[in-house]
Amino acid sequence: MRNVIPIRFQDANKEVLARIVKAASKKFNCTMKIDFENGRRTAEFIGDDIYRPLIAEEVEEIFRR
């Protein structure tokens, strides 16, 4: 069983997570378009969808450390 840190998602949590995903995406020449200003809450993946599972693994690894 993996140890998991419970995260209570709020707008700030989502923005931080989106920025972590954006940083991990750069390794695969992808990015995230993030807009959390003036009431907008959007995070759009830009890149080849084949890399999404690999990026998710990278982000999970960050939280395992």
pTM surpassing 0.75?
A: no
In a domain, 1, yes or no: no
The 10s digit of each residue's pLDDT in 5-56 is 776 656 677 888 889 999 999 999 999 998 888 778 888 999 999 999 999 9
Range of the domain at 42: 11-64
On whether residue 57 sits in a domain, the answer given is: yes
Helix (H/G/I), strand (E/B), else coil: 27: helix
Predicted confidence at residue 53, as pLDDT, reads 94
Indicate the length of the chain as a whole number: 65
Q: Is residue 58 part of a domain?
A: yes
Residue 50 belongs to some domain of the structure: yes
Domain count, the chain: 1
2 in a structural domain: no
Query: Is 38 within the bounds of a domain?
Result: yes
Q: Is residue 31 part of a domain?
A: yes
Do the domain assignments include residue 6? no
Distances (CA, A) of 21 to 1, 28, 54: 24, 11, 11
